[in-house]
Amino acid sequence: MIQKLIAGIERTGAPIVVGLDPMLSYIPQHITEKAYEEYGETLRGAGEAVWQYNKGIVDAVCDLVPAVKPQIAMYEQFGIEGLRAFEKTVRYCKEKGLIVIGDIKRGDIGSTSQAYAVGHLGRVQVGAKEYGVFDEDFATVNPYLGSDGVKPFIEVCKKEKKGLFILVKTSNPSSGEFQDRLVDGRPLYELVGEQVAVWGETCMDGRYSNIGAVVGATYPEMGRTLRKIMPKAFILVPGYGAQGGKGEDLVPFFHEDGLGAIINSSRGIIAAWKQEAYAGYGAEHYAEASRAAVLAMKEDIAGALAGRLHRGC
């Protein structure tokens, strides 16, 4: 699966993933009004609004980027109806040729991780039949429970030729509270990174592994170290844009050939129409604002990577 992602990055020239993390406050009024007219101000109405909003953005950006990353929490908060919008979004994005990274951050004891792995990446058995369920291409996984909580995901990835991004150093301000604690003089995230490299060896797909890592754009120096510790892992980098990460911060996450990382932006793209820079598009043309924000991000990253070439670093 990582080779498919690489092919998508090379085709589009954009190591970018669009975070489909819809909040109702991002959705233009004409969409919510229509959904509420049809289904009322209900969970179903919210799910419908989210789905229509996503669809507009996906249609507007699907030729520009290789991948999307729906954050399941934003759907799960509306219960069954929200998860129905998640399911529709995953399917629609795959139909449009996009790779789908399910940002689910699951992780549990072995038998339970097995159930999550099957439901999100594999196929579940019911009697004599088998079903793909949410059927994302990649999923994010929380490593706090250690190897036996991660391995069921790896086994399903091997079987289904799918992939993972394991949380190593997250983008949020207090991620250091536990992740940076020194173990024998080295931060915990480095040990997790080393383990990602070990897990990754069992699941190679060409030069890169199907087992990648999540490292926040907000911590570029740590990204530089982790890039070395996990040379074969693709790094999914959240935190660009709204969370504070800038183009130049992204350079250390990439290998010199310009591969090895994919940068996520959520709010910065999907709610672009609410930002001053794109306000001219107006609510009606929110999806075009998202498209413009992707193009600007692509330029920002390309500029930063070209800058590295110039500086020879």
Residues assigned a catalytic role: 105
- Residue 195: partners with Cβ closer than 8 Å, 6 or more residues away: 143, 147
Give the range of 1-9, 69-77, 225-233, 275-283 binding a second copy by CB under 8 A: 69-77
Q: How many helices and strands (H and E) does the chain possess?
A: 13, 14
Q: How far is CA 269 from CA 12, 87, 290, in A?
A: 17, 21, 5
Sole binder of a second copy in the list 28, 56, 107, 268 (CB under 8 A)? 107
- Rounded Cα distance between 45 and 188, Å, is 43
By CB under 8 A, tell whether 52 contacts a second copy: no
From the list 7, 73, 279, 295, which residue makes contact with a second copy (rule: CB under 8 A)? 73
The one among 176, 207, 302, 304 contacting a second copy by CB under 8 A: 176
Please, which residue, 9 or 90, has the CB nearer to a second copy?
Answer: 90
Residue found by looking up tokens 């693709």 in the block: 234
Closer residue to a second copy in complex, CB, 21/160: 21
CA angle 2, 312, 248 (to 5 degrees): 65
| Number of neighbouring beta carbons within 10 Å of residue 162 | 24
Beta bridge partners of 245: 240
Minimal distance in Å, beta carbon 294 to a second copy?
A: 21
105 binds a second copy (CB under 8 A): yes
Binders of a second copy among residues 78 to 97 (CB under 8 A) are 78-80, 82-84, 87
Binds a second copy (CB under 8 A): choice among 54, 89, 195, 290: 195
- Measured from the CB atom, the residue of 193 and 260 that comes closer to a second copy is 193
Contact, 20 vs 50, CB < 8 A? no
| Total binding residues toward a second copy, as defined by CB under 8 A | 73
The DSSP bridge partners found for residue 179 are: none
Binding status of residue 21 toward a second copy by CB under 8 A = yes
What is the footprint of a second copy within residues 133-162 (CB under 8 A)? Answer: 133-134, 142-149
Position 212 contacts a second copy (CB under 8 A): no
In terms of C-beta density within 10 A (0-12 exposed, 13-18 middle, 19 or more buried), how is residue 199 classed?
A: buried
- The reply on whether position 244 binds a second copy by CB under 8 A is no
Q: Does 185 bind a second copy (CB under 8 A)?
A: no
